[in-house]
Amino acid sequence: MAGLNKVVSSYEEALTGLSDHMTIMVGGFGLCGIPEGLINQMVKMGVKGLTAISNNAGVDDFGLGLLLKHRQISTMIASYVGENATFEQQMLSGELNVILTPQGTLAEKIRAGGAGIPAFFTATGYGTPVADGKETREIKGRHYVLEESLTADFALVRAWKADTMGNLVFRKTAANFNPMMATAGKITVVEAEFIVEPGELDPDHIHTPGIYVDRVIQGKFEKRIEQRTVKAAK
């Protein structure tokens, strides 16, 4: 690496420093927009006792589901875990500590974490189990819950295009949690479908400025579809 060139040439290099008991953020919604190669590399490394922050937990044999299968995650912070049987079984047995978090609150916790905001008030979850043990406050006649922000040792992000300086562009609904997570990692690693030279991305169209990004790796993606739905051909 030299100067602002953040491109690394191997998955080993991309995740150097990631070790047991760290907190990791992993982008994606369902299987859409997940950093597939970085997840596979964590499986290969065998890191254990991870706290994983991700909207979902993948499916049994793909995405974060692979880390669960190998019992590498001890705490999971997510909003929806419905499609993963391994997950449910580990949660019910108490093997896995799960902090279910409303999706919008999760997104905002990460956004706030990356933006240096330690906590915020939201009406989401007031009067529900999500508010248990949390400070609440009435502001202008409405009740709010104090939610603390989230950061991570490593944020693992998938982008469509990255330039070598780490400027990022996401594609369609594969953006989801990736832009916020890119801002909230002590080390942010981006797995990109395409890596281009600085200047090739229009500065007006960059979603995530390179200042947030530490490493960029050229990815290879299967892009598995969770719910393949099509209309009848005419």
Q: Minimal distance in Å, beta carbon 47 to other proteins?
A: 25
- Judged by beta carbon, residue 38 or residue 182, the one nearer other proteins is 182
- Judged by beta carbon, residue 1 or residue 92, the one nearer other proteins is 92
- Judged by beta carbon, residue 176 or residue 188, the one nearer other proteins is 176
Strand partners, 189: 156, 215
Q: Minimal distance in Å, beta carbon 218 to other proteins?
A: 18
- Look at phi and psi of residue 10 and say left if phi exceeds 0, alpha if psi is from -120 to 50, else beta: beta
- Judged by beta carbon, residue 8 or residue 30, the one nearer other proteins is 30
Q: List residues binding other proteins (CB under 8 A).
A: 29-33, 55, 78-83, 88, 91-92, 100, 102-108, 110-111, 122-130, 160, 170-180, 207, 223-231, 233
| CA atoms lying within 13 Å on the CB side of residue 212 | 27
Q: Minimal distance in Å, beta carbon 195 to other proteins?
A: 18
- Judged by beta carbon, residue 55 or residue 167, the one nearer other proteins is 55
Q: Minimal distance in Å, beta carbon 69 to other proteins?
A: 19
For 12, the enclosing helix (H) or strand (E) is helix 11-14
Helix (H, G, I), strand (E, B) or coil at 164: coil
- Judged by beta carbon, residue 8 or residue 176, the one nearer other proteins is 176
Burial of 132 (0-12, 13-18, 19+ CB in 10 A): exposed
CA pair distance 164, 199, nearest whole angstrom: 10
- Judged by beta carbon, residue 70 or residue 224, the one nearer other proteins is 224
Q: Minimal distance in Å, beta carbon 91 to other proteins?
A: 7
Q: Minimal distance in Å, beta carbon 34 to other proteins?
A: 11
- Do 191 and 62 touch, CB atoms closer than 8 A? no
Q: Could you tell me the CA-to-CA distances from 129 to 123, 133, 161, 189, 200 in Å, in that order?
A: 13, 9, 40, 34, 48
Q: Give Cβ neighbours of residue 189 (< 8 Å, ≥ 6 apart).
A: 14, 15, 35, 38, 154, 155, 156, 157, 214, 215, 216, 217
Q: Minimal distance in Å, beta carbon 169 to other proteins?
A: 11
